[in-house]
Amino acid sequence: MQGHIFFEGSPWPEGHAVKEVELSANLSENGVSLNLHLGTEDYYLARDIDVEDEDGEPLPEYEDLPAWQHPSVWYNYHACTISNTFWSSGPSPIMLSKPGEPFSLKDLSGRVFKIDPVPKLEDGRADPEFHWEHDDLHFHTYLLGHDAVADHEISFKQTKDGLFDIDWSGRVAMAYVGDYDFRYKFRAQLKEVPFLGFACARLEGENVSDHIYPEPELRRKTQTQWAEKWLADVDELNYLVREERGWRDLFSPRDKWVKFWV
């Protein structure tokens, strides 16, 4: 996988390398839906920017800069994640399958998904009167803190070797500091992304918070039934299990756990 993400107006116009992309899908009784997760390298790896002189005093060109343009603010948050799996799956699935049509991976190639559109003014700026809630958004982000992303346009192109090129654009609101206007744009260009497989949606009685999961055999049986209903070629089924991944808070010695589909 190769990829870069660009944040318009940031201190790094050359963009940042993308460290990981996870492309998969959920199978449920309602069809096939998209899972997409992106994580970048640390911001400073693109280019280390000195903001102080030899005496440790701020350089004049970095005084009074807005947070979005100031390298020190970006350094404070290290790297970016944009995902609809890492924290939650959003208010509803992003459906890949179409009613009455069996889904095949090759059908994904050439499709464009427009997700969480943001109203625009005549000059193209996001309408500052647009009101939204975090729970209404399909993707979430950690960028300069837990900000917000919307107005996504995601296109897929399958290559000859079965991998996917993905072009993903959208807008950012610096919600972590109370700015809810989607004034900043981003664009990710991702090459040779593998499709990891199909995960099984939650089953009746499953409770993530209490770590109550069905037996793997039951989940596999249910997923196979859904695959036979929704997939054009059941041989495409690469079964993905639920995982609980740990991460360590930078300011705490204790491991924290987040739960999501992979």
pLDDT tens profile 115-144: 999 999 999 999 999 999 999 999 999 999
pLDDT at residue number 203: 77
Ranges 50-54, 181-185, 195-199: which has the least confidence = 50-54
pLDDT at residue number 200: 79
Domain coverage including residue 170: 2-260
DSSP readout, 124-137?
S-B-TT----GGG-
The mean per-residue pLDDT over the stretch 152-170 comes to 95
The more confident residue out of 220 and 130 is 130
pLDDT at residue number 207: 72
Tell me what percent of the residues of the chain surpass a pLDDT of 70.
89
**Overall domain count for the chain:** 1
Average pLDDT, the chain: 87
Note the pTM of the prediction, 2 decimals: 0.88
pLDDT at residue number 192: 96
The more confident residue out of 163 and 85 is 163
DSSP readout, 42-73?
PGGGT-----B-TTSPBPGGGTT--GGG-HHH
pLDDT greater than 70 at residue 105: yes
d(CA 219, CA 11): 46
The more confident residue out of 164 and 86 is 164
Give the DSSP H/E element, type plus range, for residue 39. strand 31-40
pLDDT at residue number 247: 44
pLDDT at residue number 153: 98
pLDDT digits (tens, 9 = 90+) for 37-68: 999 999 999 999 988 877 777 888 778 889 99
For the chain, how big is the Rg over CA atoms in Å? 20
Tell me what percent of the residues of the chain surpass a pLDDT of 90.
61
pLDDT greater than 80 at residue 258: no
Q: Are 95 and 26 in contact (CB under 8 A)?
A: no
pLDDT digits (tens, 9 = 90+) for 63-78: 888 999 999 999 999 9
